[in-house]
Structure 1
Amino acid sequence: MENVNKTNLPPAPAPDTIRVIPLGGIGDIGRNMTVFEYNGRILIVDCGVLFPSEHQPGVDLILPDFEYLRDRLDDIDAIVLTHGHEDHIGAVPYLLRLRPDIPLVGSEFTIALTEAKLAEHRIKPYSLVVAEGDVEQLGEFECEFIAVNHSIPDALAVFMRSKAGNILITGDFKMDQLPLDGRITDLRAFARAGEIGVDLFMVDSTNAEVPGFVHSEEEIGPVLENIFGRAQGQIVVASFASHVHRVQQVLETARKFGRKVCFVGRSMVRNMGIAADLGLLDIPENTLVDLKDIDSVAENRRVFMSTGSQGEPMAVLARIASGTHRRISVGPRDTVIFASSLIPGNENSVFRLINGLTKLGAKVVHQGNERVHVSGHSAQGELLYAYNIVEPLNVMPIHGEPRHLVANGSLAVKTGVPAENVMLCEDGTVVDLHDGVARIVGEIPCGYVFVDGSSVGEIGETELTDRRTLGQEGFIAVFAVVDAQRRTILAGPHIQARAMAEDDSVFDEILPEVKKALKGALENENADAYQMQQAMRRVLGRWAARTLRRAPMIIPTVIES
């Protein structure tokens, strides 16, 4: 398998060459975005976000790096969206800020979710709704859209054809043979693509380490019925706000047990409203109740369908667990169901949430103790079928962490794809496809872009390191006032600490040494305020490391009078 060459930027593409550049989704679960270039024109597939980990304090979202596109915005013919999950559509508003008239192409539900998101950013897009079987000419590429099954309605794979070669992108997919909506992955279309010839197969890697086949969604229904039948009080079901199939199962189970369902969480209310309007969600009569009317429903007849299954601190479930939700609380008679998979990186947040709910006395049901969720991504058995059906010349695993990409590439090799034809890439890797041969030709700079409040891309690793230091090691401020002319200390040094286990009195032993260091700096007539500050910082830093076994952030201040 060919690995990324980090030595240089790629040369200009040769004639009749398709250039493929992932700007996200290669190495992470999220931030999916791939650029396809041919004859100077660009087509983008997906534009999603990655949610921050605990090591990125204060960050709201992480975007793909648009820098490569910033000077080429007019070359973009369209953005194709494979489905409506946040890790595939969440960054669209930020790209459209740079050029609002880039056309969006996707299925009806995907476009509806994206347009609702864009409305919050006051952007009205140019949209083209497509369905499985449709063929559209998008710039230099003829794109055929293929139905795939996933944990959201209306997901599509994309078969991109051009004079330079053909590329099949699965998007996120699985092969549930008994899906709740009857919409299976169209393997016949995959086979037709294989007969035409797939020069590059870009394949979802999320479950490439999981043996066998993913269970069917229909297996969840009896499990929910069993849980609902045992429940004595309120039931809270936490799921992704786009998982229409799971919500449908909850609605039907609630109706069977005479319970009322209340959607809570802004995105849950919005998305289920869109799904119902499009006929993708069937809400049984007299089953839905608004949160403002929930007090009229007995506790043992309530079901809350909420967001927050990934431990997001401001989501509904986290506020219920912390006792800060204004209308919903749980106790010993209540049941909380985590009806979603655990996204890598969220483990600690989710387990803290489960522990918090357990402390409140609630019975917590999750994937670890009941089958309340099945994955939306193909496991090894399904991926092997896909490779054998398509018979691609080259393979590029996408949508996964490095271990997932490697596992997926190994599966491709087992089905007969030559190892040298499997492209194991990173974000920013440049792959050129020419005359049926794919090869890595270099890489472009491609990093994380952090959304922090209203700022986009204004904080980087330096600021995050400072935040981690503040959170883990604490903060020490030392300040003094000096007479710059007489070279004497007028006040201080004074020391104050924050987020330190020790009382400020612990600094009494080092204060004379800090003062001595400041005097020493003052004796140098050429010393400025910065040099005086650094003298105090060095003494404090060495002492904190030796005595406290800490490396706090130290901010020295010297005021010259």
Structure 2
Amino acid sequence: MSQTTVPGLKTPPPLADGTLRIVPLGGLGEIGRNMAVFEIDGKLLIVDCGVLFPEETQPGVDLILPDFSYIEGRLDDVVAVVLTHGHEDHIGAVPYLLRHRHDIPLVGSQLTLALVEAKLQEHRIKPYSLTVAEGQVEKFGPFECEFVAVNHSIPDALAVFIRTAGGNVLHTGDFKMDQLPLDGRITDLRAFARLGEEGVDLFMVDSTNADVPGFTTAEKEIGPTLDRLFGQAEKRIIVASFSSHVHRVQQVLDAAAAHGRRVAFVGRSMVRNMGIAAQLGYLQVPENVLVDLKNVDNLPDDQVVLMSTGSQGEPMAALSRMANGDHRVQVGTGDTVILASSLIPGNENAVFRVINGLLKLGAEVIHKGTAKVHVSGHAAAGELLYCYNILKPTNVMPVHGETRHLIANGRIAVSSGVPERNVLLTDDGSVVDMVDHKASIVGQVECGYVYVDGSSIGEITDADLKDRRILGDEGFISIITVVNRTTGKIVTGPEIHARGVAEDDAVFNEIIPKINAALEEAVTATTEHTNYQLQQVVRRVVGTWVNRKLRRRPMIIPVVLEA
């Protein structure tokens, strides 16, 4: 297999006529931030534009976007953005892309575009959109796109088959092969077989569950478990799930209706998304089941179900606030909390923290590890092998997954008969060119993280995040000193103040003579010193002492003024 790290990769060569270039700008080596750019004959087609949610090592960050710098100067060449489905890791960055050019056409299914348009409304952007359905073929510049129904954990998901002069690409988006889906819409393997006969030059395929053997459990198996749990619960039931998981919400509504309970949606995105799904007919709401959260307190506890966001332990989501006791819904003894979702890698600590908080409040917490309350939306190894055997692709480029997932997917491709040299394991920013049905990695473009931090976009750097981690882990020490410019003598200070350091400020009295001596020596040694040089002297002296004496590495902020 062509490895993800290719030594010496540089800026790719100019694109030759008739060659198709593929550049993933997110979704490789990570779960989220999915985005791929296709280029031929001077035109660009984008598939998906999602966000990545921050980990604990990225304090203060709200969202992480794909790096648009590769296409920023060529937005007029973008003929369309094709969105495979409505999950945040595939559509969440669309508003930030459209800030650069509002009229980029958005292409997707009815539900996908409805969710995107609601999000864009919050950003005061009115998009130009085109609704498509399975079996539909549309032409966008030099790209002809055929849309194929695929089954996922959200309705209306689509794979896209891209025909170009440089070759044909099948991009699955996220998918699985549930044979008994709740909405009856299966992955269209007949279309896959037909496209395989036509010729799939490059198969870009979901890798999230490539290291999971066998087949993904059917969604219908969750219903009986929820029914049993609802029958056993004596007080309120709180179900946490993704705010776009229409199928899971449908099962909760059905179970609630069967047990005489009323359901209230908790969390702004849950209320918004389920309202859209119900309006468009994707969510069937039983009569007299829904109730506004404001009226829940008027109902007996054994008649209440709260459908909430926060299944991934997001700090500001409803479930996390319940666990911390700062939500209007107060969780107590006898309540049942069901986490109806999988753990996204990197969120484990946050989720377990929420579980522990709920248990301390007396609730019973049920999750995927203790009961069948969730199934994945991604194809496992057995399903992927079926796809390879049906399609017989010439080249394979695993997408959507961490490195281990991409490698596992590549091995499945090889086991199905794809030549090892034709399996491309790429990174974000890798440049793949396809010519004469052969795909190869030809270069690398800049592709870093773009952080959304409050109202700032792309202004926070990795260095800033490092400073935040140091402040959080080690604290900081400030040293203020006034030096006589002529004599080199200390006029005032040093005044030392520490925050986030366990020791009292008095412990730093020992270092003051050393700071004085070092500063006086630096001032008298040369008349051409700068304030920055003197501050560095203080930083070195204090840093060495603190590291040796206190075994800490705090942020040190020296201020030297010359009088």
Q: Give the TM-score normalised by structure 1.
A: 0.98
Q: Does 1:548 align with 2:550?
A: yes
Map of 1:276 onto structure 2: 278
| C-alpha deviation, 1:100, in angstroms | 0.6
Cα distance in 2 for partners of 1:415, 1:30 equals: 27
Cα distance in 2 for partners of 1:45, 1:428 equals: 15
Map of 2:87 onto structure 1: 85
Cα distance in 1 for partners of 2:93, 2:155 equals: 20
Cα distance in 2 for partners of 1:175, 1:541 equals: 58
| C-alpha deviation, 1:148, in angstroms | 0.4
| C-alpha deviation, 1:231, in angstroms | 1.0
Cα distance in 2 for partners of 1:164, 1:412 equals: 22
Map of 1:360 onto structure 2: 361
Amino acid at match of 2:129: S
| Residues paired across the two proteins, number | 560
Amino acid at match of 2:257: R
* 1:380-438 deviation per Cα after TM superposition (whole angstroms, max 9, x unaligned): 00000000001100000000011000000000000000000001000111111111111
Amino acid at match of 2:97: L
| C-alpha deviation, 1:507, in angstroms | 1.3
Amino acid at match of 1:323: G
Cα distance in 2 for partners of 1:10, 1:99 equals: 26
| C-alpha deviation, 1:253, in angstroms | 0.5
The 3-state SS of whatever aligns with 2:71 is: helix
Map of 1:32 onto structure 2: 34
Match of 2:182 among 173, 180, 188: 180
Between 404-413 and 14-23, report the one with greater CA deviation: 14-23
| C-alpha deviation, 1:216, in angstroms | 0.4
| C-alpha deviation, 1:484, in angstroms | 2.1
| C-alpha deviation, 1:345, in angstroms | 0.7
C-alpha contact 2:19 2:165 (8 A) present in aligned 1: no
| C-alpha deviation, 1:560, in angstroms | 2.3
- Give 1:6-85 correspondences, 5 Å limit: 6-85=8-87
Q: Does 1:452 align with 2:437?
A: no
Map of 1:163 onto structure 2: 165
- Give 1:85-164 correspondences, 5 Å limit: 85-164=87-166
Map of 2:262 onto structure 1: 260
Map of 2:440 onto structure 1: 439
Map of 2:212 onto structure 1: 210
Cα distance in 2 for partners of 1:469, 1:87 equals: 29
Cα distance in 2 for partners of 1:249, 1:465 equals: 43
* 1:478-503 deviation per Cα after TM superposition (whole angstroms, max 9, x unaligned): 11122323432221101111111222
Q: Does 1:491 align with 2:485?
A: no
Cα distance in 1 for partners of 2:508, 2:214 equals: 61
Q: Does 1:224 align with 2:226?
A: yes
| C-alpha deviation, 1:236, in angstroms | 0.7
**Unpaired stretches in structure 2, ≥5 consecutive residues:** none
| C-alpha deviation, 1:35, in angstroms | 0.4
Amino acid at match of 2:73: D
| C-alpha deviation, 1:294, in angstroms | 1.3
- Give 1:268-347 correspondences, 5 Å limit: 268-325=270-327, 327-347=328-348
* 1:309-331 deviation per Cα after TM superposition (whole angstroms, max 9, x unaligned): 00000000010000011x20111
| C-alpha deviation, 1:20, in angstroms | 0.5
| C-alpha deviation, 1:239, in angstroms | 0.2
Map of 2:388 onto structure 1: 387
Cα distance in 1 for partners of 2:490, 2:234 equals: 71
C-alpha contact 2:487 2:524 (8 A) present in aligned 1: no
The 3-state SS of whatever aligns with 1:215 is: coil
The 3-state SS of whatever aligns with 2:208 is: coil
Map of 2:419 onto structure 1: 418
C-alpha contact 2:9 2:442 (8 A) present in aligned 1: no
- Give 1:489-528 correspondences, 5 Å limit: 489-524=490-525, 525-528=527-530
The 3-state SS of whatever aligns with 1:351 is: helix
Cα distance in 1 for partners of 2:553, 2:56 equals: 20
| C-alpha deviation, 1:194, in angstroms | 0.2
Cα distance in 1 for partners of 2:532, 2:38 equals: 50
The 3-state SS of whatever aligns with 1:137 is: strand
Cα distance in 1 for partners of 2:81, 2:314 equals: 28
Cα distance in 2 for partners of 1:213, 1:231 equals: 31
Q: Does 1:2 align with 2:2?
A: yes
C-alpha contact 2:261 2:303 (8 A) present in aligned 1: yes
Between 131-140 and 508-517, report the one with greater CA deviation: 508-517
* 1:246-268 deviation per Cα after TM superposition (whole angstroms, max 9, x unaligned): 00000010111111100010000
The 3-state SS of whatever aligns with 1:208 is: coil
Amino acid at match of 1:491: T
Map of 2:483 onto structure 1: 482
The 3-state SS of whatever aligns with 2:479 is: strand
The 3-state SS of whatever aligns with 2:45 is: strand
| C-alpha deviation, 1:122, in angstroms | 0.5
Between 438-447 and 151-160, report the one with greater CA deviation: 438-447
| C-alpha deviation, 1:515, in angstroms | 2.5
| C-alpha deviation, 1:514, in angstroms | 1.9
The 3-state SS of whatever aligns with 2:38 is: strand
| C-alpha deviation, 1:15, in angstroms | 2.1
Cα distance in 2 for partners of 1:247, 1:377 equals: 18
Amino acid at match of 1:265: G
Cα distance in 2 for partners of 1:14, 1:56 equals: 40
Cα distance in 1 for partners of 2:509, 2:262 equals: 63
The 3-state SS of whatever aligns with 1:510 is: helix
Cα distance in 2 for partners of 1:543, 1:117 equals: 52
Cα distance in 2 for partners of 1:493, 1:163 equals: 71
| C-alpha deviation, 1:519, in angstroms | 2.6
Q: Give the TM-score normalised by structure 2.
A: 0.98
* 1:169-189 deviation per Cα after TM superposition (whole angstroms, max 9, x unaligned): 110000000100111000000
**Unpaired stretches in structure 1, ≥5 consecutive residues:** none
Cα distance in 1 for partners of 2:536, 2:444 equals: 40
Amino acid at match of 2:28: I
| C-alpha deviation, 1:559, in angstroms | 2.1
Cα distance in 1 for partners of 2:374, 2:210 equals: 18
Q: Report the RMSD for the aligned CA atoms in angstroms.
A: 1.0
| C-alpha deviation, 1:475, in angstroms | 0.6
| C-alpha deviation, 1:543, in angstroms | 0.8
Amino acid at match of 2:61: V
| C-alpha deviation, 1:532, in angstroms | 2.2
Cα distance in 2 for partners of 1:52, 1:220 equals: 29
Amino acid at match of 1:232: E
